[in-house]
Amino acid sequence: MKTMTCRELGGPCDLEHRGETADEVIKAQDAHLKEAEKAGDTAHQPARDEMKGRWRHPKRSMGWYTQVKRDFAGLPEA
């Protein structure tokens, strides 16, 4: 199990997301950003807009995805 924060994934806060894979952590970040958007949290809106763009244009977003996978791989097990 590894941990990445919202901030490490491009967001504005230090909420920790835990997962066995980078994909699990990315999905947790996506859910967190969706919840923040629904709650009217404007600080998270730019990160939410970026995430929406990544889901809509996955080929164009491969650089971000590849970097997150590398960062995740370099983290210690918690």
Establish if 7 belongs to a structural domain: yes
Residue 50 lies in a domain: yes
Q: Which domain holds residue 64?
A: 2-73
pLDDT digits (tens, 9 = 90+) for 5-39: 999 999 999 999 999 999 999 999 999 999 999 99
- Give the integer Cα–Cα distance in Å for 57 and 37: 20
Instruction: Report yes or no on 61 lying in a domain.
Output: yes
In 1-78 the beta strands, taken as DSSP E runs, fall at 2-5, 16-19
- pTM listed for this prediction: 0.89
pLDDT of residue 56: 86
25 inside domain: yes
In a domain, 78, yes or no: no
Residue 39 lies in a domain: yes
Three-state SS for 20? coil
In a domain, 9, yes or no: yes
Whether 33 is covered by a domain: the verdict is: yes
